[in-house]
Chain A
Amino acid sequence: MIHIRDVVFRYQTDDFSLKHISMDIHQGERVSIVGPNGSGKTTLMKVMLGILETTGKVRMVEKSLDEYTTKERARILSYMPQFQALSHSLTVREYVELGRYPHTERFRDLSPRDHQKVLEMMELTHLTSYADRPLESLSGGERQRVFLAKALVQDPKILFLDEPITYLDMSQQLAMLKIVKEYCENKNISVVAIMHDLNLALNFSHKIALLSHGSLVDYGPPKQVLTPKNIENIFGTRVSFIDIPGSEAAYIVPELTF
C-alpha cells in the first residue's frame, strides 16, 4: 500500500534532515510514528502526504506519489491536522463538507450522496447536534472530532493523523481512538498516526516507526520496537513493562526520577 524507499529531505533553512528512510505499510495496518520532539515525525508525514517534495521514492496505493494530481491524491489520502486555523468562520457542517470536494466535478456542488456521507460522519463522531454551530465556538476536543469527521468524509484509503489526541482528556482520547480503530478496520483503511503517548501507541498500532534525529531507528510490531532499551536510548528515560493478565494490552511505566 505505501512503499517508502530511501527518502531524504532537507529543509533549506535549518540543519535538520530526514535520512534515508525506507518502510512499507500494508493495507488496513495502523502505524504510529513516535520519537522525541524534533525527531522528524511531522516532516515524514508531510513527505508521505506530498506536501514536501523529497528525493527517494514514495509509492502510494497504485503509483508513485508524484504521478497523482493533487485532487487524485486527496481521494486516497486524507489528513487530520493537530490544529487548524481558519481564515473565515465556518460551521461544523460547512467544514466537514469540504472533505467531499475531491470526489466532485469542478462545477458540481455536493450531491445528495455526498450530503448523506457528511451526515453519517457527523453522526459517527457525535457531532450531529453541533452541525450548524461555528467551529470556533467548540471546545478543543469537539474540534478534534470535527477534523476527524472531515478526514473520514474524504473516503481515504490511508488516513493520516497528526497527534490526534494531544488536546483531549483521557476518556476523549480513548473515544477518539475507538472511532478511528473501528471505522478503519471496518473499511480496511490504513492509518498513519503521530503519537506522543507511547502507551496508546503501543496498544493502538500494528506497527511502530521509531524516529530519532531524522533517522528511522526501528520499525516493526509495537512490542519489538518499544523495548525498554530502545526507549532509554531514544527518549533518555528508563521504563519497565507491565503486561495485563488476560489481555494483550501492555503498559510502559517510566521510572520516576523525582
Chain B
Amino acid sequence: MVSVKRKKQTGSWMIVGLFFLVFMASLLIGSERIPINQLLAMVGLHDEPVNPVYYQILVQLRLPRALAAGLIGMALANSGVVFQTCFRNPLADPYMLGISSGAALGASISFVIPGLGPAWTGLFAFVGALGALAFIYTIGWMNGKLDSTVLILSGIAVGFFLSAVVSLLAALHQERMEQIIFWTMGSLNAIRFSQVRMIIIPVLASLMIFFYHWKDLNLMVLGEEGAITTGTNAPRVSKILLVIASLSTAFVVSVSGIIGFVGLVIPHLVRLAIGPNHRSLLPISAFAGATFLMLSDVIARTIVAPRQLPIGIITAFLGSPYFIYLIIGLKRRQS
C-alpha cells in the first residue's frame, strides 16, 4: 500500500514540476528565443541589462498567452473530470452539451456581420455557447428532473444542427471561411491581457467550487442511490456542478475557440497516474491540463514558425493517439 501511495505522490509531483518547466519554456520559446538570463534579469534575479524588445515580447505577448493557455487547460481538464464523474461516463467531455458548436456559431456570425471587429467575437461566442446550453438543459429538464440520457442525446442533435449552420455560413461567405475554420480549431494568437482578465475569475471560481465538492464527486462513483445513502444529494450536486462546468467551458471557449481533447484525455491520464480520489484528481488534472495546453501552444507557434498553427490541431495530434492507446490497453485488460 505504501508503494502504491508513494507512486501516486511521485506522479503528482512530476506533473506539478512539469507544469512549472513548461510554463518557463512557453515564456522563452517562440519565433524569437529569449535567453533565460533575460527572464531572470526581468524578475531581478540576474544582474544584466534587460533588452526592451525581449521585455515587450515577454510581457505583452507570451505571458498573457501562457497564462491563458494555463487557465483554459485547467478549466477544460477539470470540467472534463466533472462531466465524466457526474455522467458516470468515461467518454463525457465538456463539449458534449453543444457548447462548442454554440460558440462556433456565435463566433461565425460575428465574422460574417460587416463592421464587427475581433472584440465582438468573444462575446458572440459566449452568447452562442450559453444559448445552446440553455436550450439543451431546457430539453433535458423533464418533469422537474434532469434526465442525463435526454441531455446527452439532445446535446448531440443540437451540436450537429449548429455545426451545419456554421458550415452553411462558411459556404455562403467564402471570404470568411478561413477565419471560421481557424476559429473552430482553436487559437491563442490573439490573446492579450484583456482576455486573461475576462476568464481568470470564472475559471478560478469554478475550480474552487469543484474542489469544494471533492467528496461528493468521489461518492458519485456509487451511482445516484449509492451516493444518496452515503450522504450526498447526488442529483442536486451533479446538476450544480454540470452547470458550473458548462459555464466555465463557455467562458474559455469564447476566448480561445474550440480546443478539443483536453477535457477528454487529461482526466483519464491523471486518473491512471494518481487514482480516482478527486481530492488529488481535481488539482493535479488542473495542472496537467494547463501543462498540456501550454506545451501544445509552444508547438503550435514554433513547429512551422514564423507561421502559427491552430492549437486544436496540436491537441488532437497529441491526444488522439494516446486515446487509442488507452482504448487498446483497456480492451487488453478486459480480455
Contact = CB atoms under 8 A, between A and B. Distances in A.
Nearest to B223: A85
Interface in B73-89: 84-85, 88-89
A70 B226 contact: no
Contacts of B89: 87
B226 A84 contact: yes
Interface residues of A, number: 34
Interface in A79-93: 79, 81, 84-90, 93
A87 B85 contact: yes
B225 A90 contact: no
- Of the listed residues B4, B215, B232, B271, the one surrounded by the most CB atoms of chain A closer than 10 A to its CB is B215
Nearest to A134: B333
Interface stretch (A45-53, A58-66, A167-175, A208-216): A45-53
Contact of B276 (A49, A75, A77, A90): A90
Interface string B110-129: 00000000000000000000
Contact of B229 (A79, A85, A88, A132): A79
Contacts, number: 78
- Of the listed residues B4, B218, B222, B279, the one surrounded by the most CB atoms of chain A closer than 10 A to its CB is B222
A74 B143 contact: no
A85 B228 CA distance: 15
A105 to B, nearest CB: 10
A81 B231 contact: no
Contacts of B220: 87
Contacts of A70: 228, 231-233
A192 to B, nearest CB: 13
A234 B229 CA distance: 31
A84 B222 CA distance: 7
B218 A51 contact: no
A131 interface: yes
Given A87-B85, A101-B215, A106-B212, A94 B229 contact: no
B225 A94 contact: no
Contact of A86 (B143, B222, B277, B279): B222
Interface string B206-221: 0000001001001111
Given A12-B143, A106-B212, A131-B1, A98 B230 contact: yes
Nearest to B3: A132
Contacts of A99: 230
